[in-house]
C-alpha cells in the first residue's frame, strides 16, 4: 500500500503544473466569457460555482493521468503490451469532465440546459485534452532532443579521443633504401612535397618549423600515410596535413593553400580541389 502511494505521489508531481494551468484557464474562460447563465446574482457565489468547475477538472485530469500511467506501467511489466492507445487519456478526460460539468452545472449552478448549453460544455471540455496532448508531444520532443544532445556529446568525445589517438601515432619515414629514417607523430607533419628524387618533409618541432630531405618518391610516402585521414593530396607534387591549413585562396583561376604560422604557398590543382574543399 505504501509503495503504491509513493508511486502515486511520484507521478503526481510532474502533472501538477500543467493541470493547474489548464484548470485556472477554464476558470478564467467561464468567468469572463460566461458561456452559460448561473442562478442568482451574487458575484461571490458565482466565483465559488465557477471555481467548482476548475476543481472538478483538476481532479479528473490528475486521477486519469496518474492512475492510467500506473496501470500502463504495471501491464507493460507483465506482458510488454500497452493496454490503452495514446489518446485514451484525452477521451476519458473529455467524457468524465463533460458529464461532471453537466451534473455540477445543473444541480449546483442551476444551469438550464438546452442544445446550445450542452454544445458549449462539450467545447469547453474538449480544450483540456487538446492542450494535454500538445504538452505531451512537446515533452516527448524535448526528451528526444535531450537524448540526441547527450548522444552527440558522447560521439564527439569518442571522435576527439580517436583523433587524439591518431594524432599521436608515430610515422617512420625512410629512404627508399632504408638507409635513413625520420620518426614523427601525425600532428607534427605539416606537409610533404617532392623535390626531384627526394621528398621534402616539413614538420613542426615545438614552435619551430623544420625540413628534412629523404631519398624517396611522393607516391611511396602517400601509400605509407594513406591510413591517416589528416593527410590530403593537394597537388601532384604535394601532400598536406589539413590541421595546418590556414586558408584556401583563389586568384586568376589559380588556387593555393597557406599554412598556419608558416610563410609559404602550396599549389592546389583542379584534380584535388574538391577533396581539399571537403576536408576544410
What CATH number should be reported for the domain holding residue 196?
2.40.50.1020
H/E stretch holding 218 reads helix 218-225
Q: Are residues 87 and 203 in the same domain?
A: no
Mean confidence (pLDDT) of the chain: 85
Contact 45, 80 (CB under 8 A): no
Show which of 111, 136, 161 is a domain's final residue: 161
Asked if 24 and 153 sit in the same domain, the reply is: yes
pLDDT at 86: 60
Same-domain check for residues 179 and 151:
no
Q: Which three cell numbers stand for residue 232?
A: 590530403
Could you tell me if 74 and 200 lie in one domain? no
For the chain, the domain total comes to 2
Domain extent for 107: 2-161
Between 2-33 and 115-167, two packed helices, what is the crossing angle to 10 degrees? 120
Q: Are 125 and 200 in a shared domain?
A: no
201 exposure class (CB count in 10 Å sphere: 0-12, 13-18, 19+)? buried
Query: Is 232 found in the same domain as 130?
Result: no
Are 112 and 217 within one domain?
no
Q: Which residue among 137, 161, 185 closes a domain?
A: 161
pLDDT band at 74 (very low <50, low <70, confident <90, very high): low
> In this model, does residue 221 exceed pLDDT 50?
yes
Range in 154-168, 181-195, 231-245 with the lowest mean pLDDT: 154-168
Cell numbers linked to 238 = 604535394
Core vs surface per residue 77-110: b (16+ CB within 10 A) or e: eeeeeeeeeeeebbebbbebbbebbbebbeeebe
**Does residue 206 carry a pLDDT above 90?**
no
140 and 177 belong to one structural domain: no
Do 156 and 191 lie in one domain? The reply is no
pLDDT for res 20: 93
pLDDT at 76 over 60: no
pLDDT, residue 131, reads 93
Q: Of 162 and 261, which is predicted with more confidence?
A: 261
User: Which cell numbers in the block locate residue 268?
Assistant: 592546389
pLDDT band, very low/low/confident/very high, at 41 (cuts 50, 70, 90): low
Identify whether residues 143 and 28 lie together within a single domain: yes
pLDDT given for residue 78 in this prediction: 46
**In a shared domain, residues 156 and 183:** no
Amino acid at each position: 500500500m505504501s509503495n503504491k502511494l509513493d508511486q502515486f505521489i511520484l507521478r503526481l508531481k510532474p502533472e501538477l503544473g500543467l493541470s493547474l494551468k489548464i484548470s485556472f484557464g477554464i476558470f478564467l474562460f467561464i468567468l469572463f466569457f460566461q458561456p452559460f447563465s448561473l442562478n442568482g446574482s451574487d458575484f461571490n457565489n458565482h466565483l465559488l460555482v465557477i471555481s467548482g468547475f476548475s476543481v472538478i477538472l483538476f481532479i479528473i485530469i490528475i486521477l486519469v493521468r496518474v492512475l492510467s500511467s500506473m496501470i500502463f506501467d504495471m501491464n507493460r511489466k507483465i506482458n510488454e503490451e500497452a493496454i490503452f492507445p495514446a489518446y485514451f487519456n484525452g477521451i476519458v478526460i473529455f467524457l468524465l469532465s463533460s458529464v461532471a460539468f453537466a451534473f455540477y452545472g445543473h444541480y449546483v449552478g442551476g444551469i438550464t440546459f438546452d442544445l446550445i448549453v450542452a454544445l458549449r460544455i462539450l467545447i469547453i471540455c474538449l480544450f483540456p485534452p487538446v492542450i494535454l496532448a500538445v504538452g505531451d508531444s512537446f515533452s516527448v520532443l524535448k526528451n528526444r532532443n535531450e537524448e540526441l544532445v547527450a548522444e552527440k556529446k558522447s560521439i564527439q568525445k569518442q571522435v576527439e579521443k580517436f583523433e587524439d589517438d591518431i594524432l599521436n601515432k608515430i610515422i617512420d619515414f625512410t629512404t627508399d633504401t632504408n638507409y635513413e629514417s625520420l620518426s614523427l607523430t601525425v600532428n607534427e607533419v605539416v606537409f610533404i612535397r617532392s623535390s626531384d628524387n627526394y621528398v621534402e618533409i616539413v614538420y613542426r618541432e615545438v614552435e619551430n618549423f623544420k625540413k628534412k630531405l629523404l631519398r624517396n618518391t611522393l607516391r611511396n610516402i602517400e601509400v605509407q600515410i594513406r591510413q591517416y585521414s589528416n593527410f590530403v593530396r593537394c597537388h601532384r607534387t604535394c601532400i598536406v596535413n589539413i590541421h595546418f591549413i590556414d586558408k584556401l585562396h583563389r586568384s586568376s583561376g589559380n588556387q593555393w593553400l597557406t599554412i598556419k604560422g608558416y610563410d609559404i604557398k602550396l599549389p592546389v590543382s583542379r584534380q584535388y580541389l574538391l577533396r581539399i574543399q571537403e576536408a576544410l
